[in-house]
Structure 1
Amino acid sequence: MNEKETVFYEREGKLALIRLHRPGTSNAIDPPTLDALAAAYHRADNDGEAVAVVLYAEGPDFSVGLDPASFLPVLKAHTFSTDGPGRINPFGTTTRLSKPLVVAVQGTVGAMAHELMLAADIRVAAAGTRFGQGEVSRGSTPAGGGAQRMVAEAGWGNAMRWLLTGESWDADEALRLGLVQEVVPDGEQLTRAVRLAEAIAAHPPLAVRATLDLGRRARDAQAQQVFADLVPTLYWLLGTADFAERLAAQKEGREPVYTGR
């Protein structure tokens, strides 16, 4: 095993299992990890024996989200991309996995990681999970479809309650909002996700994929028009005076003073 590997692929029967494991970082996602996830999704999509896919993470946290130290230079250089040969966008905003994706989460599920979760078709959470989509508090915006999918799943007011305050919420609230489909005792989330994926994989693969495709197209018809604007909007915000002020205030240990510029 390569010590630098952070994404692992395994097939068990009709399931493709994708595991995130970046020790010592609460599974923070750096550019190589996101690229490896995109490659794993492509592998699962082209694995003729896999009918359904399960995404999970090793350790106390699913993922705190984006690793700012490694991602900020990429974003500022406008070189961020999840597309390319042998890749499927893990956020599903450009290319998308054509097989059902079940995700199991625990601990912290923050920002970018929450968007990975929302791109899944069925979501299972451990009871102690905390969720967040708080980019607004950092002067940026969800660039992986988080805002659009929260509105689609939870409704406008419910989504804005959390997106605009930048606050975090618990598993019970996530279940109430429809952001997760089941909440299970801590430690049982992967077992339950696998069982759901096995139930899906027991059906005829063509029927599964056709049903999934029709449902996704109906839900995402309007969102697709917005997905193309996600990364350009993020780049614009990264160039504002307010974003620079947030970074300066963080470095200087003071409260930022925003001017709307």
Structure 2
Amino acid sequence: MKQARTIRYQSAAHVATVELHRPEHANAIDPDTFAALGEAYHRAEHDSDVRVVVLSGAGADFSVGLDPNAFLPALQKRLFSLDAPGRINPFGTSSRLSKPLIAAVQGTVGAMAHELILAADLRIAADDACFGQGEVSRGTTPAGCASVRMPLEVGWGNAMRWLLTAEDWPAEEALRLGLVQEVVPAGRQVERAQELAAVIAAHPPLAVRETLRIGRRAYEGAAHHVYGELLPAMYSLIGSADFAERLAAMQEDREPVYTAR
């Protein structure tokens, strides 16, 4: 099955490891992969033996983010949905895992992929990790909550430094900002995430989940009223003249001329 190729799931010792597995495409996330990730989260949520979830990516890159060729038709037709029966929203803006989620990343962590790890509770980065949230340079806006969660995580100015310039930042900067909690040698990120998961999984599960629930409610509570605006904002921008100009400029190999329309 296609989903079995793009998402791999295994569990042991109360820890479920969910792996993005599309390494031949740098783990670019197409609609099937996004759906399969939501199904994997749902599986972990409803497995009473699983207490902690680790998210990882196969190959050199955690994920370059959204696969534009696969996603753009659904987005332009406004058919994409974050929710469906048997899934948990991987961005955590509607439904969300009630169990701790630890992200382990390496190589490129781009845009949508960065938003997936912003929904995690702990993040471990390899020292070769490079992060980006470049939607504004492409004429859109983050629809997976980066414009909300990143300021909460690192402060307004620090978030705008990267969201508005659309520049990439290295693992050292992610650690300085507090976006990741540890930087480890490349190749050790998943092992370290699983070590931390094992420590958490050894604690009473109800206490862990209640601590997480209360903390999330206090941390993100005031932000929830804007979650419903994220996709409509992106849809509006995709329909703009500036977005069409960017696509035309790419096809014609020239610099775009934006008109704020």
Where do 5+ consecutive residues of structure 1 fail to align? none
**1:90 aligns to 2:90 (yes or no):** yes
Report deviation, 1:201. 0.2
The 4+ residue runs of structure 1 with deviation greater than 6 A are none
Deviations 1:103-123 (A, max 9, x none): 100000000000001100000
Counterpart of 1:167 in structure 2 is 167
Report deviation, 1:101. 0.3
Normalised by the length of structure 1, the TM-score is 0.98
Percent identity (aligned): 63
Q: Secondary structure at the match of 2:25?
A: coil
Q: Secondary structure at the match of 1:97?
A: coil
- Distance in 2 (alpha carbons) for counterparts of 1:30 and 1:7: 11
**1:256 aligns to 2:249 (yes or no):** no
- Distance in 2 (alpha carbons) for counterparts of 1:23 and 1:57: 8
Report deviation, 1:25. 0.6
Counterpart of 1:201 in structure 2 is 201
Question: Residue 260 and residue 25 in structure 1: after superposition, are their counterparts in 2 closer, same or farther (change >3 A)?
Answer: same
- Distance in 1 (alpha carbons) for counterparts of 2:179 and 2:140: 22
Counterpart of 1:104 in structure 2 is 104
Counterpart of 1:238 in structure 2 is 238
- Distance in 2 (alpha carbons) for counterparts of 1:58 and 1:6: 10
Q: Please, what is the CA RMSD of the aligned residues?
A: 1.0
Q: Given residue 201 of structure 2, which amino acid in structure 1 is its aligned partner?
A: A
**1:155 aligns to 2:161 (yes or no):** no
Q: Secondary structure at the match of 2:217?
A: helix
Normalised by the length of structure 2, the TM-score is 0.98
Report deviation, 1:3. 8.4
Counterpart of 2:24 in structure 1 is 24
Q: Secondary structure at the match of 1:124?
A: strand
Pairs within 5 Å for 1:53-92 = 53-92=53-92
Q: Secondary structure at the match of 2:104?
A: strand
Q: Is the 8 A contact 2:23 2:61 kept in 1?
A: no
Deviations 1:15-66 (A, max 9, x none): 0110111132100000000000000000000011000000001100000000
- Distance in 2 (alpha carbons) for counterparts of 1:239 and 1:59: 35
Q: Given residue 88 of structure 2, which amino acid in structure 1 is its aligned partner?
A: I
Q: Secondary structure at the match of 1:255?
A: coil
